[in-house]
Amino acid sequence: MKPTFQMQLVNGPWGDPALYVRIRWARRALLFDLGSLTCLPAGELLRVSDVFVSHTHLDHFVGFDHLLRTVLGRDRTLNLYGPPGIIDNVDGKLRGYTWNLVQGYPLCVEVVEVDLDTMRGAHFACAEAFQRREMPPRPFTGDLFVEPGFHVRASHLDHQVPCLAFGVEEPFHINIDKERLARLQLPVGPWLADLKAQIRAGTADDTRIDVRWPGGRTKTFSHQGHPGPEARLRDRCTLLS
């Protein structure tokens, strides 16, 4: 069974803390803590959509500048989550540079500060020279965000400064029974990624997915509701003519 998450300690167990987590089916990555990131290729850093900072001691936060330099100029939003004070920390780093030549850059940085029962945020747009704009607060009940397929939770710790611990949880894991595929005469292919995405999103049972064989032959099937994490393809798919 292939895991959904591939984890890499960027600097090994004794270097600056930074955990790089690839999400196999999403071509996307999460980053936990921002120690030195110079050994990560730019292509890996460009996959990072969300960053989770436990606290802002130097060895946990020094990589922010390198990450920003890598994604600068990209049309995307980089999301950061951290303990109380993280918005001021990011604002201070951004204020340390001159931004008079970036008016056409579409990058945005959104920072969420997690207090005991509240999350408040700030938006920094590169095109506005990263001017700080406050975002409305919202309740914090343990989840930082919930997406189809996984969610990220946080808990508060004491490290003589405000500090967060994070957990990534997968409500259920989808595994494909390749022997059943062969008995149904279904090919392995990109359509399986589409099927998994539909199941994770909780789409209707009659959603149609095209299956293309080598040579161009195509069939369409609908997935059936998934009863639980132990379900396999035979429980979820019905071939249609």
Name the residue among 101, 91, 90, 15 with its Cα closest to residue 53: 90
Listed residues 137, 169, 201: the one ending a domain: 169
The confidence score (pLDDT) of residue 230 equals 35
| Total structural domains within the chain | 2
Q: What is the mean pLDDT of residues 101-123?
A: 95
- Answer with the residue of higher pLDDT: 156 or 231: 156
The confidence score (pLDDT) of residue 107 equals 97
- Checking if the pLDDT of 216 tops 80, the result is no
Task: Find the distance separating the first CA and the last CA of the chain, reported in whole Å.
Answer: 30
- Checking if the pLDDT of 215 tops 90, the result is no
Based on the fold, state whether residues 214 and 161 are members of the same structural domain.
no
Give Cβ neighbours of residue 227 (< 8 Å, ≥ 6 apart).
Answer: 235
Name the residue among 44, 49, 120 with its Cα closest to residue 83: 120
Instruction: Of 8-17, 25-34, 41-50, 174-183, give the lowest mean pLDDT range.
Output: 174-183
The confidence score (pLDDT) of residue 20 equals 97
Listed residues 144, 169, 194: the one ending a domain: 169
- 59, 88, 177, 235: the active-site residue: 59
Question: What does pLDDT average to over the chain?
Answer: 83
Could you tell me the pTM of the whole model? 0.76
Q: Is 224 exposed, middle or buried, given 0-12, 13-18 or 19+ CB atoms closer than 10 A? A: middle
pLDDT band at 34 (very low <50, low <70, confident <90, very high): very high
pLDDT band at 222 (very low <50, low <70, confident <90, very high): low
Distance CA(218)–CA(213), nearest Å, equals 6
CATH number at residue 62: 3.60.15.10
Instruction: Provide the domain limits for residue 63.
Output: 5-169
Based on the fold, state whether residues 29 and 67 are members of the same structural domain.
yes
Percentage of the chain beyond pLDDT 90 is 58
- Checking if the pLDDT of 223 tops 60, the result is no
Encode burial over 44-66: b for 16+ CB neighbours within 10 A, e otherwise: bbebbebbbbbbbeeebbbbbee
Instruction: Of 19-33, 47-61, 205-219, 225-239, give the lowest mean pLDDT range.
Output: 225-239
Based on the fold, state whether residues 165 and 184 are members of the same structural domain.
no
Give Cβ neighbours of residue 88 (< 8 Å, ≥ 6 apart).
Answer: none
- Checking if the pLDDT of 124 tops 50, the result is yes
- Checking if the pLDDT of 66 tops 50, the result is yes
* Single-letter residue type at 85: G
- Answer with the residue of higher pLDDT: 216 or 112: 112
Q: What is the mean pLDDT of residues 115-126?
A: 96
Based on the fold, state whether residues 164 and 202 are members of the same structural domain.
no
Based on the fold, state whether residues 80 and 149 are members of the same structural domain.
yes
The confidence score (pLDDT) of residue 206 equals 62
The confidence score (pLDDT) of residue 234 equals 41
Residue 75 designated active-site: no
Q: What is the mean pLDDT of residues 33-46?
A: 96
- Answer with the residue of higher pLDDT: 163 or 213: 163
